[in-house]
Amino acid sequence: MLTRARLGAAAALLWLAPWAQAQPLWLDALGQPGPAAREAIGWLTQAERDGLQPHDYDAARWARSIDPGQRLAATEAGAWDAALTQTLTRYLHELRHGRVPAAALGARYDSVGQPAPDLAERLHDAVRNGRPAEALAAATPPWPQYPLLRTALAQYRALVDDPAWRTALPPLSGDRLRPGQRWPGLAALAARLHALGDLDAAPATEPDTFDPALQHAVKAFQERHGLSADGVLGKATLEALDVPPAARARQIALALERLRLTPLPAAERFVTVNVPEFMLYAWQRQDQAVHQAFAMRVIVGKAVGTRTPLFDEDMRRIEFNPYWNIPPSIARGETLPKLRANPGYLAAQGMEFVGPGGQTSSAVTAELLDAVQAGQWRLRQRPGRLNALGDIKFVLPNDQNIYLHHTPSVGLFQRARRDFSHGCIRIEQPVALAQWVLADDPDWSEARIRQTMGQPRTVSVALPTPVPVLIVYRTVSVRDGRVHFAPDLYRQDALLERALAQRPHPARSPGPVRGAS
């Protein structure tokens, strides 16, 4: 069985399969390119629709090779046909699986995914049956967001030459533009917000002041760009408005590439956490399709120092009223200094020392502090209202000790930017998630979940069916028909752009391609 890492190399050789050499795939009875060839070469010339690059597939050369004014010589036919098959096989593989390995971007996705079709075989069968579009459909990534982002890409590319960006927005006279104030950039602001769809109707006359209609439009724009949605035009909002459509289109293209690099789980239920968006999504299969069940806000690892890693793992159990076993790095870097300065901090935070044999102590002594520093003892926080994990923890065993949990600091979910954790993921609606992952167990009603969360002791419940959790990274998403942009929190977009620019490009397709210059 081919691994994802070996699939690319294998796909590039599949054009040499016996059925590919037995008879031409793309030529008609006269030995000339047929309708299927013209349709498939059209995929290459329009590869930008999916955020791919036509020149990566020699699209212009292939388009010239089927110019009606030229004819393919009999001596060229076999090589031309085989070369087109090879090029299209590579195109379909990169459309489905991406152009760089996810591991090269620091992401590790190795759980069981939905089986991918044999694209070379699909291409051959689809063309032989006169339905080449079926091969293209099989190569399209199956994520529900994919067609939405593809549409968004076309929308933002259409804005590249929009006159709303011909006039630069002037600087603000103060730190922000408040309701009712005048500003020389109001007309340009209205034009830009209207072009982006945040202002429903363009003003009949140039606005004199920052009126309620413009404030509402600015608020809508802020909501779509991960900003505090206060309807006030400040520095951060002005900077986001100044980002040209071409840059946004590149951002969308990177989001499409991320979807290609992320395998869709085979499970009936699964969860994704999109780090820069600070959102969790629950997904469920229904009628052979994947649908969103619900979404909620999350808090992720700090951009500086404690980033949340990108990986996938199965959620296997829930711990109600968990202990928080303080990681050694946090204990040494944060907790021990506080205890040395104030020994009463241990009792105030409901903490205790735990020895190698499981013995506990609540006495703050120099010996115990040194033992924690040396890794001989550890610190943990008992269940209760102060517990950093809140009253519920969703366990997905992994070697990075990352899990999902509630938090007593619920006010942080109202912030626009939510990277406050040490790497784990704090969730806004733990009861909803617990109900959903325990849906196969009728004994766990909402009432029982809430009652169990309020007990003073830890209760561990194994899930009837493990639920895959994918920690992903996309700075663009489509929600309720609106395109939302997030900041490149961990500089992962920049990393992906560099990886795409530095990847080795394949040699030009073998064999003569007519029209080459």
Residues 190 and 219 in one domain: yes
- For residues 42 and 36, the answer to whether their CB atoms sit within 8 Å is no
In a domain, residue 499? The reply is no
Count of domains observed in the chain: 3
- For residues 128 and 36, the answer to whether their CB atoms sit within 8 Å is no
In a domain, residue 285? The reply is no
What pLDDT is attached to residue 510? Answer: 47
Give me the count of residues in the chain.
517
Residues 48 and 171 in one domain: no
What pLDDT is attached to residue 508? Answer: 56
What pLDDT is attached to residue 310? Answer: 97
Residues 224 and 344 in one domain: no
Residues 181 and 227 in one domain: yes
H helical segments located in 326-445: 328-330, 336-341, 345-348, 366-373, 430-437
Distance CA(37)–CA(85), nearest Å, equals: 10
Which 8-state DSSP code applies to residue 106?
T
Question: Measured in whole angstroms, how far is the alpha carbon of residue 334 from the centre of its chain?
Answer: 32
In a domain, residue 400? The reply is no
Using DSSP, state whether 317 is helix, strand or coil: strand
Residues 203 and 136 in one domain: no
CATH assignment at residue 227: 1.10.101.10
Question: Residue 127: enclosing H or E segment and its boundaries?
Answer: helix 119-128
Distance CA(298)–CA(378), nearest Å, equals: 28
Residues 189 and 104 in one domain: no
- For residues 86 and 78, the answer to whether their CB atoms sit within 8 Å is no
Residue 263's CB is within 10 A of a number of other CB atoms, namely: 23
What pLDDT is attached to residue 111? Answer: 82
Residue 83, both tokens: 């070369």
Q: What is the pLDDT along the chain (517 residues), one digit of tens a residue?
A: 333 433 343 344 443 444 444 589 999 988 899 999 999 999 999 999 999 999 999 999 999 999 887 788 888 889 999 999 999 999 999 999 999 999 999 999 988 888 889 999 999 999 999 999 999 999 999 999 999 999 999 999 999 999 999 989 999 988 899 999 999 999 999 999 999 999 998 777 788 899 999 999 999 999 999 999 999 999 999 999 999 999 999 999 999 999 999 999 999 999 999 999 999 999 999 888 999 999 999 999 999 989 999 999 999 999 999 998 998 989 999 999 999 999 999 999 999 999 999 999 999 999 999 999 999 999 999 998 888 899 999 999 999 999 999 999 999 999 999 999 999 999 999 999 999 999 999 999 999 999 999 888 999 999 999 999 999 999 999 999 999 999 999 999 999 999 999 988 775 554 455 544 3
In a domain, residue 126? The reply is yes
What pLDDT is attached to residue 312? Answer: 96
Residues 129 and 41 in one domain: yes
Residue 349's CB is within 10 A of a number of other CB atoms, namely: 19
**Phi and psi of 30, rounded to 5°?**
-95, 5
Residue 159, both tokens: 């804005």
Residues 139 and 204 in one domain: no
Residues 218 and 126 in one domain: no
Residues 342 and 377 in one domain: yes
- Predicted structure pTM score: 0.89
Residue 174: which domain range? 163-243
Residues 66 and 198 in one domain: no
Terminal C-alpha separation, the chain: 41
Who's near 273: CB < 8 A, 6+ residues apart?
Answer: 279, 280, 281, 298, 300, 308, 404, 425, 469, 470, 471, 472
Q: Look at residues 227, 243, 259 and tell me which one is the last residue of a structural domain.
A: 243
**Phi and psi of 121, rounded to 5°?**
-70, -40
Who's near 222: CB < 8 A, 6+ residues apart?
Answer: 228, 229, 230, 231, 237, 240
Using DSSP, state whether 91 is helix, strand or coil: helix
Residues 210 and 117 in one domain: no
What pLDDT is attached to residue 204? Answer: 72
